[in-house]
Amino acid sequence: MFLTEIIIAITAVYIGKNIHAPDKKKSRETQVVQNSCSSEDSTSLVTRENGISEKKKQVDYNFKVSSATLGLTVATTLFYPALAPLSVFAIVYSAFPIFEAGFKAFFKTRRIEVSILDVILITGMLVNGYLLVSAATIWLLSLSEKLLIKTENASREKLVNIFGEQISTVWVQVDGVEFQIAFEALKVSDIVVVNAGETIPIDGVIVDGVATIDQHALTGESQPVEKTIEDKVLASTILLSGRVFIQVEQTGQNTIAARIGNILNNTADFTSSVQARGMEIANSYTPPTLALGAITLPFFGSNAALTILLSGLGYNMRIISPISVLNYLKILSEHGILIKDGRALELLDQVDTVVFDKTGTLTLDQPHIGNIYINTDINIDENKLLMYAASAEYRQTHPIAMAILDAAQQRELDLPPINEAAYEIGYGIKVKVNEVLVRVGSTRFMEMEGIVIPDEMRNLQDQGFEEGYSLICVAINEQLGGMIELHPTIRPEIKGILSGLHQRNMSLYIISGDHEKPTQRLAMELGIDHYFAETLPENKANLIEKLQQEGRNVCFVGDGINDSIALKKANVSISIKGATTVATDTAQIILMDGTLSQLGKLFNIASDFEDNMKNNFKISMIPGIFCIAGVYVFHFGIISGIAIYNLGLITGVTNAMLPLQKYSESDKKLQIEESKK
């Protein structure tokens, strides 16, 4: 009876599936025509996004169908046996995607994988009349597929394209008139106007104006650079002070920043090896399970053979692995850690070497004031010089201005108002403070203003350049009043973090585009034994690869566009919120509080995750071994097999869920301890 119903159901489902095939084909053809109207890159992006969306819709649909089928089959089994033919039809319909996937995988790989086991198991159950078991099996498979796609989408949705935060409009100058146009409308040779505090949107050459530019995100240089007429500037760098007119050389996809982004986008997408490992475990045990079932069939009958297939050695790893992944992703997100690639969870526990980019990662964007040097030819003290500098900079928001203002605030200096009519910005700032003309800026700015720089002050500047810090000149009327040292600021949390990594016996490295001396000094101060100095952006990835060739598992922590290829090359890559878009796009892990404070917590949770996954494997194997032994020793049948399988599944899911409770209780204890303090 059941065999006849199954044949009818399969025929009906096949016809139903093919009725809609022409419409789907037409839809795809329409989509291709629509896509052909856009650019190649846009087409690729749209096609990929549509593919992901369609896959999610299909998985959601399959889960709804299998859920309805399970409900119908429960009602049939318990209350309405007459609905059996309808239940068979529903089971076959809901199983169709599993059958399709199984046969496609087999013909593609020519391997006996777990998808074929699914097909044989469901078919065998139906033939033997186990409708409820068949429906439940299909529902569990649909649930696991839904969990897998959810994990995959959680990773993909966090990946922001390099142009996701691209500015939409720019100011251009035509025949002496400035007006705003769409960024996409920019052409080579257009003149773009950029003001202080703005990001340079294109690669080009300055045709008018002077400016101080922070380009560490691209080049790794910790000190701002001065640019004037005929100097080249790069997209994604920041204009700290000044105003410039830039002739466009490269826009959009042709800028250096975008070319780096294209290298990344053209590389195959990461997939979660955690999920892949679960599938591989299940696949590796499929051939012996099928072979054992085939051997059992002639001696013990179909019931025992199906029970062997249902034992599912490693089978549940497909289900409980994604649950573990999702739960640990949730735990990490609650601790301000965003995992964009599940693979990083697995690889973190294997990391033995951590490489830090220096500028912007180990150091903050805002420098701090060091020594203040006074020109002995002028009657002024440190506080007064700092007061003049802070008064001049009070309207500015760039890191150098903020450092000067913070220093003045710490010394509790009163800042007099400035005469805004005399406020000028170029390489520096020129203002009137209490009828005193104050200039703040670089030595080049002072020379342009006719200010004489004494030899001892020039020597101080040369020394600062070698040592890795910069000096800002402050002129009072027509004389140089003195210079203010600006030093990179080490992140306050970093020493504690590095101490924890040392306790894990990890090798630590600094990689920097800065000179040898400042990089060496920072390494010594932080207790880091190894460093690479004066490293060009394109060589960072080569250094990561060299460490890997030595047998090391490398975690790279970076924040700049120039770090992006190294981030891609590393076994595990980490960036921080507030870093460049390319860095946060590329990195597998983002520390969302904008600091490195959670780095130690990240490694601890990753170790716990690996332990949880090992327990998952044991739980997925032990019930299966017991079930197989039970078939031969105690003559277990399919009901016993189902009971053991579900007990193992419940145990596995429980193990996968335990971390949520563990970390919830841990966080509560921590909050109580902090409140007592």
- Using an 8 Å Cβ cutoff, are 486 and 471 in contact? yes
pLDDT of residue 676: 60
Q: Dihedral of the CA atoms 446, 448, 449, 452 (nearest 10)?
A: 50
- Looking at 1.20.120.350, 3.40.50.1000, 3.40.1030.10, 2.30.110.10, the CATH number of the domain 343-351+492-597 comes to 3.40.50.1000
What are phi and psi for residue 178, nearest 5 degrees? -100, 135
Domain 366-490 has CATH 3.60.15.10: no
- More confident of the two residues 167 and 303: 303
* Range among 10-19, 171-180, 461-470 rated most confident: 171-180
Using the predicted structure, report yes or no on whether residue 656 has a pLDDT greater than 80: yes
Of the pLDDT bands very low, low, confident and very high (cuts 50, 70, 90), residue 514 is: confident
Amino acid identity at 322: P
| Minimum mean pLDDT range among 340-344, 348-352, 476-480 | 340-344
HEC letters along 544-590: HHHHHHCCCCEEEECCCHHHHHHHHHCCEEEEECCCCHHHHHHCCEE
Of the pLDDT bands very low, low, confident and very high (cuts 50, 70, 90), residue 221 is: low
Distance, CA of 387 to CA of 76 (rounded, Å): 86
Of the pLDDT bands very low, low, confident and very high (cuts 50, 70, 90), residue 124 is: confident
Instruction: Round the average pLDDT of the chain to a whole number and report it.
Output: 79
pLDDT of residue 271: 41
- The token pair that represents 58 in the structure block: 């299909």
- Using an 8 Å Cβ cutoff, are 225 and 211 in contact? no
Q: What are the domain boundaries of the chain?
A: 1-157, 169-263, 269-335+604-677, 343-351+492-597, 366-490
Distance, CA of 109 to CA of 113 (rounded, Å): 9
pLDDT of residue 551: 94
Burial class (CB in 10 A: 0-12, 13-18, 19+), 648: buried
The enclosing H or E element of 513 equals none
Distance, CA of 343 to CA of 410 (rounded, Å): 46
Tell me which residue of 278, 438, 459, 470 sits closest to 369, measured CA to CA. Answer: 470
User: Which ranges of 335-381 would DSSP assign to H, the alpha helix?
Assistant: 343-348
Using the predicted structure, report yes or no on whether residue 19 has a pLDDT greater than 80: no
Using the predicted structure, report yes or no on whether residue 222 has a pLDDT greater than 60: no
Mention every residue, 6+ apart, whose C-beta is less than 8 A from residue 282. 114, 312, 314, 315, 317, 318
Mark residue 667 as left, alpha or beta (left: phi above 0; alpha: psi -120 to 50; beta: remaining). Answer: alpha
Of the pLDDT bands very low, low, confident and very high (cuts 50, 70, 90), residue 22 is: very low
Of the pLDDT bands very low, low, confident and very high (cuts 50, 70, 90), residue 49 is: low
CB count within 10 Å of CB 506 equals 17
% of the chain at pLDDT higher than 70: 80
What are phi and psi for residue 47, nearest 5 degrees? -60, -45
pLDDT in tens, 144-166: 778 767 655 554 444 433 334 45
- Using an 8 Å Cβ cutoff, are 408 and 390 in contact? yes
- More confident of the two residues 116 and 304: 304
pLDDT of residue 355: 95
- More confident of the two residues 150 and 456: 456
pLDDT of residue 419: 61
pLDDT of residue 162: 33
CB count within 10 Å of CB 293 equals 24
Using the predicted structure, report yes or no on whether residue 360 has a pLDDT greater than 80: no
pLDDT of residue 163: 34
Using the predicted structure, report yes or no on whether residue 211 has a pLDDT greater than 60: yes
Using the predicted structure, report yes or no on whether residue 259 has a pLDDT greater than 60: no
- The token pair that represents 614 in the structure block: 């090992």
pLDDT in tens, 526-562: 999 899 988 887 788 899 999 999 999 999 998 877 7
Which CATH fold would you assign to the domain 169-263? 2.70.150
- More confident of the two residues 181 and 395: 181
% of the chain at pLDDT higher than 90: 27
Amino acid identity at 456: E
Mention every residue, 6+ apart, whose C-beta is less than 8 A from residue 369. 386, 403, 404, 406, 407, 484, 485, 486, 487
| Minimum mean pLDDT range among 12-16, 335-339, 489-493, 612-616 | 12-16
Per-residue pLDDT, averaged over 118-123, amounts to 86
Distance, CA of 454 to CA of 633 (rounded, Å): 97
pLDDT in tens, 70-114: 999 999 999 989 999 999 999 999 999 888 888 887 788 777 777
